[in-house]
Amino acid sequence: MGVMINGVYEAEDPGPGTTQNGTYERAKSTLRHWITPDGPFTPDPGRYHLFVAWNCPWAHRTLLIRAILGLQDAITISIAKPRRTDQGWVFDTDGAFSDPELQATALHEIYARHRPAYTGRITVPVLWDKEAEQIVSNESADIVRMLGTGFDPHRRLCPPEHEAEIDRWNTLIHAKINNGVYRAGFARTQEAYDTAVTDLFATLNELETHLTNNTTLTGDTLTEADLRLFPTLARFDMAYHYAFKCNLAKLSDYPALWDYARALYALPGVADTVKPDIYKAGYFSPSELRNPLGIIPAGPKVNWTQPPHRTIPRPD
């Protein structure tokens, strides 16, 4: 994905970060401004633009919030091409994978516009302020919270009465599941892989028990925690199970968790954010460590349209 050094793009990708014991460590986001009613970034419809990619699970969570809360008109988007090049995330000049906002050909051009000059990885999602012409945030968790609380006070995905519980789930799910699959897939030692997989499936088992008696993570209310979990579930059986060796079980082997995932998929707008063929092509792209020949498997076929037994209500 390349890096920026003082606002200048360097195409050499340092690759996934690992510690001396082979454990994968995700780079931290550094552009973390906030949308608030008293500014300088205010929640004005039409002011902000999202740069995303279908195959990125961190970008997926922002698209889910946008769809669930009906923010499509308030927050416009540009979608990068599914396959990165030596220029990182790139755009076509027109069509579905073009940038209608700034007519950029690569995401690093957006980072180059930010002031002060940016140093760091070139990642999606990016929340861009059209008015100030700068990046508000490249931290997906912050963008999810801003979109889920700031634009409609009557439809909030982090209601105050559930905030502590949501934060607890977010912390667990990020460490053990969202990032846990990457800790397994990018592990460089057996010990690091074993630890990641053990943590991952212990947490999936915990979720299975919880969702056997609860409609959602917080009982029966849809919150951002559910939508932060879903992108990993959406990719699990077709990508992480095989490409990242998270193969103790499939999502479909967990009756409650699989039913919950399909209930989320059935919510209006969610299915349009799920792109199985793009996921498979991305996770099985050529990789010296994981898939040196770049062969994309034919299966599995995952039936997301099988009706769930539970119904998850949308925010009022």
Please state, for a pLDDT cut of 90, what percent of the chain lies above it: 85
CATH classification (class only), 3-150:
alpha beta
Lowest-pLDDT range of 62-71, 129-138, 269-278, 289-298: 289-298
Two tokens at 184? Answer: 């397994």
Euclidean distance between CA atoms 139 and 35, whole angstroms: 13
| pLDDT above 90 for 263 | yes
| pLDDT above 60 for 10 | yes
Decide: helix, strand or coil at residue 2: coil
Euclidean distance between CA atoms 104 and 313, whole angstroms: 38
First CA to last CA distance, the chain: 39
- The reported pLDDT for the residue numbered 26 is 63
Mean pLDDT of the chain: 93
Euclidean distance between CA atoms 91 and 107, whole angstroms: 8
Report, as residue numbers or ranges, the catalytic residues: 56, 182
Two tokens at 137? Answer: 């945030």
What are the domain boundaries of the chain?
A: 3-150, 160-283
Examine domains 3-150 and 160-283 and report if their fold is the same. no
| pLDDT above 70 for 20 | no
Cβ–Cβ < 8 Å for 250, 237 = yes
- Does the 160-283 domain belong in CATH 3.40.640.10? no
If you average pLDDT over residues 294-312, what whole number do you get? 94
| pLDDT above 70 for 16 | no
- pLDDT, tens digit, for every residue of 104-116? 999 999 999 999 9
Per-residue confidence band for 2, with pLDDT thresholds at 50, 70 and 90? confident
- The Cβ of residue 44 has, within 10 Å, a number of other Cβ atoms equal to 13
